[in-house]
A = this chain, B = another copy of it.
């Protein structure tokens, strides 16, 4: 420290100032207790439409909400007045802060209309915070825009798409629209990789090796310089301590371009966030400029992109970048995997995704905080919101607080993947599991007539709920503390009783839809009670278990299958994945959500079936292997009369109609 010309007292005072100001700074960095102001709800009867409920409430400015829950000013980035992205630096600041309780909301096998798990999440958080005065946070998936304009109720079918109701519980129409642009960023990143693959294949197919090399590693004033991305690949290929200066040019270019050659580009799935059925199967490259290099491919809806799964599983910017780089986008001439990093595109992907990685802060109708972040498909991916949103929320609520997060589809899919994929990636463990059951779904699975999206609900269901015991508790055995929440009317007491008999630690009815947080107080108390019990969570399988065994364990223990049956194609893929060192990845089953089996029409808890594994794919960037059980549509369509017929904007008041 420079102190010349300063007396000892002055110096001491200065020192004291420094100490005081750093202690002030350190205080500012500490965990801040919440001062959350709840917004009053006036529950109405009959229940008005979702949008009317939403409009009747004035949200708190998001910077006020941020302050109430202890965020520093520099930790948020506002997007308009009711949304803000939260910076990941928060995790550093509150490193020493113990996590709150971690609550998972899952559902029984749903009807095609969805059973309202997200509304339970929000009702529960409102009850915990506005009524029990406990810090609590909801973590939700971002809905895809495609189905917003497509079929009402279809969101339940498309894993990522949250059912209609919970929207009524967020004061923000843009929840359903662009939000803070994360899905658009994923689309941009995904499509850059797709374009890069085909352009690369074209250039390789139409240029001599030497010309290709000269373009890839151009000579500037007679000196060829590799880009850092190229050097990193060469290091892997040639060993860590390669001395580039001693390589002869012609050796280098053989190596450089060789690793870029593709066999079958199994990645090229361009995505759009639109229900565009005509893009399910297409032929590209038909313009004369592409010199006959046509090929068949397909578009997926944006949320089906591997990049969405990566966003949901990454635990920081560095981790996301690594995962983006290791996405396998094709194979080389010699059959080796080629990654996004090899394509030279990983840095650009990280740049495109650098804001998407920050969770978006919003609020419920009663002013409780919500993170909306990521929304991967629940069949070809793991169907859970982001690890990072959960981690930030767990720090923010503090030791006595609650974070309520949600798993897509039924417990057999979303919850199983939450346990074995998401918790494995995050290192977090759930304290409480809430299982949502509607009387409607119980009836249908007990033998009622089929329910399909877009058609009116059949009036009669046969009153059978006994099947439920077996059908929905398979997955629960992994977690010790489980509460069942039941929605419905007549048979609600019977169902609660049966749930307790079946091993649930508690079972309570829920009326949050009509009464807001107040309708979930009983649930909140049960969750608080359950959260004080020890959790005995354990994984269903160890990572070291061979791929086939892992699949079999899920099929038998979660679905109730007798065994699995592998196609020769699936077996060949498993051999390849083992050879490439992917054998330790967790399994992400791509299965229908409408049955515990692979057959959507089998309701209840079917037995005596063998689960066929048609093919096995790999999302190496996201970090899982996904066996295909039956066919999964990754591009929904528009019906004859899509939702958009009723959607309108008043240009004067800027009010939106028909969006809910």
- A residues neighboring B (CB under 8 Å): 77-81, 85, 145, 149, 174, 177-178, 181, 184-185, 187-188, 191-192, 194-196, 198-199, 202-203, 207, 212, 215-216, 218, 227-230, 270, 272-287, 289-290, 293, 296, 298, 316-318, 320-321, 344-345, 347-348, 350-352, 354-355, 637-642, 644-649, 651-652, 654, 656-659
Contact of A184 among B181, B199, B284, B316 (CB under 8 A): B181
Q: For the complex formed, measure the closest distance between the CB of A225 and the CB atoms of chain B, giving whole angstroms.
A: 10
Q: Which residues of chain B are near A78, meaning CB under 8 Å?
A: 78-80
User: Are A321 and B290 touching (Cβ within 8 A)?
Assistant: no
C-alpha spacing A194/B279, complex, angstroms: 11
**Contact, CB under 8 Å: B284 / A149:** no
Shortest distance between the CB of A200 and any CB in chain B (Å): 8
> What is the bound-complex CA distance between A637 and B320, given in angstroms?
27
Q: Which of B284, B321, B347 contacts A644 (CB 8 A)?
A: B347
Q: Chain B: which residue is nearest A198 at the CB level?
A: B278
In the complex the two chains form, is A185's CB within 8 Å of B178's CB? yes
Residues from chain B with a CB closer than 8 A to the CB of A273 are 188, 191
27 A-B contacts (beta carbon < 8 Å): A78-B78, A80-B355, A149-B192, A149-B348, A174-B355, A177-B352, A187-B272, A196-B642, A199-B275, A199-B276, A199-B639, A202-B277, A203-B639, A270-B279, A278-B290, A280-B286, A280-B290, A281-B285, A281-B286, A282-B283, A286-B296, A321-B649, A347-B647, A347-B648, A347-B657, A347-B658, A351-B647
Report yes or no: B192 in contact with A184, Cβ–Cβ below 8 A: no
- Give the Cβ gap from A659 to chain B, nearest Cβ, in Å: 7
Given contacts A77-B80, A149-B348, contact A355 B318 (CB under 8 A): no
Give A469 Cβ to nearest chain B Cβ, in Å: 38
Distance, CA A212 to CA B641, complexed state (A): 9
A647 to B351, CA, bound (A): 8
- Tell me which residues across on chain B come within 8 A of A203, comparing CB atoms: 639-640
Known contacts A347-B648, A654-B317; is-contact A215 B274 (Cβ 8 Å): no
Bound-complex Cα distance A21 to B202 (A): 70
Interface class of chain A by DSSP = mixed
- Nearest 9 interchain pairs by C-beta: A347-B648, A318-B651, A184-B184, A195-B276, A280-B287, A348-B644, A281-B287, A199-B638, A215-B640
Please name 18 further chain A to chain B contacts, defined as beta carbons within 8 Å, in addition to the given A194-B274, A198-B276, sorted by A numbering: A178-B185, A187-B272, A192-B274, A195-B278, A198-B277, A199-B277, A272-B272, A278-B284, A279-B284, A281-B287, A281-B290, A282-B285, A317-B651, A344-B641, A347-B646, A348-B647, A350-B648, A351-B647
Could you tell me the distance between the alpha carbons of A369 and B229 in the complex, rounded to whole angstroms?
37
B280→A283 contact, CB < 8 A: no
- Please give me the residue from chain B that is nearest to A659 by CB atom: B351
Distance in Å from the Cβ of A305 to the closest Cβ of chain B? 13
Determine whether the beta carbon of A644 is less than 8 Å from that of B344. Answer: yes
Kindly list chain B residues whose C-beta atoms are within 8 Å of the C-beta of A344: 641-642, 644-645
A229 near B637 (CB under 8 angstroms)? Answer: no
**Within 8 Å CB of A350, what residues of B?**
648-649, 651
Q: Are A218 and B641 in contact (CB under 8 A)?
A: yes
Cα separation A570 to B174 with both chains bound (whole Å) = 43
When C-beta atoms are compared, the residue in chain B nearest to A658 turns out to be B347
CA distance A321 to B79 in the complex (A): 24
Question: Which of these, B81, B215, B640, contacts A641 with CB under 8 Å?
Answer: B215
B contact residues around A282 at 8 Å (CB): 282-286
Q: B321 near A651 (CB under 8 angstroms)?
A: yes
Cα distance, A640 to B260, chains bound together (Å): 12
B192 contacts A644, C-beta separation under 8 Å: yes
Interchain CA distance A597-B78 in the complex, whole Å = 49
With A321-B649, A351-B647, A354-B654 known as contacts, the answer to whether A289 contacts B277 (CB < 8 A) is yes
Asked whether A287 lies within 8 Å of B296 as measured between CB atoms, the reply is: no
With A177-B352, A178-B188, A188-B274 known to touch, is A289 a contact of B280 (CB < 8 Å)? yes
- How far, in angstroms, from A212 to B639 measured CA to CA in the complex? 11
Asked if A646 contacts B227 (CB within 8 A), the reply is: yes
Write out the residue numbers on chain B whose beta carbons fall within 8 Å of the beta carbon of A290. 277-278, 280-281
Which residues of the other chain, B, contact A77 by a CB distance below 8 angstroms?
79-81
Residue ID in chain B nearest A88 by CB atoms: B654
Q: How far is the CA of A656 from the CA of B188 in the complex (A)?
A: 17
B177 touches A351 (CB 8 A): yes
Are B656 and A351 in contact, CB atoms less than 8 angstroms apart?
yes
Residues of the B chain whose Cβ atoms lie less than 8 Å from the Cβ of A198: 276-278
A478 vs chain B, min Cβ distance (A): 33
* Shortest Cβ distance from residue A439 to the other chain B in the assembled complex, whole angstroms: 24
- Shortest A552–chain B CB gap in Å is 32
A281 — which chain B residues lie within 8 A by C-beta? 285-287, 290
A193 (CB) vs chain B CBs: closest residue: B274
Closest to A646 in B: B227
Q: For residue A641, which residues in chain B have a CB less than 8 angstroms away from its CB?
A: 215-216, 218, 344
| B contact residues around A279 at 8 Å (CB) | 270, 284
Closest B residue, CB atoms, query A276? B195
Q: Could you tell me the distance between the alpha carbons of A218 and B640 in the complex, rounded to whole angstroms?
A: 11
| A199 and B80 contact, Cβ closer than 8 Å, known pairs A188-B178, A188-B273, A192-B274 | no
Tell me the bound Cα distance from A317 to B348 in angstroms.
Answer: 35
Q: In the bound complex, do residue B321 and residue A188 qualify as a contact, i.e. CB atoms below 8 Å apart?
A: no
- Note all chain B residues with C-beta closer than 8 A to A645: 227, 229-230, 344
Instruction: Give A145's nearest chain B residue, CB to CB.
Output: B188
Minimum distance in angstroms from A322 CB to a CB of chain B: 9
Residues of B within 8 A of A348 (CB): 149, 644, 647
- Determine which of B207, B285, B316 lies in contact with A278 in the assembled complex, contact meaning CB atoms within 8 Å: B285
The residues of B that contact A270 with a CB separation of less than 8 Å are 272, 276, 279
Contacts of A355 in B (CB 8 A): 80, 174, 178
B-chain residues with CB within 8 Å of residue A648 when the two chains form the complex: 228-229, 347, 350-351
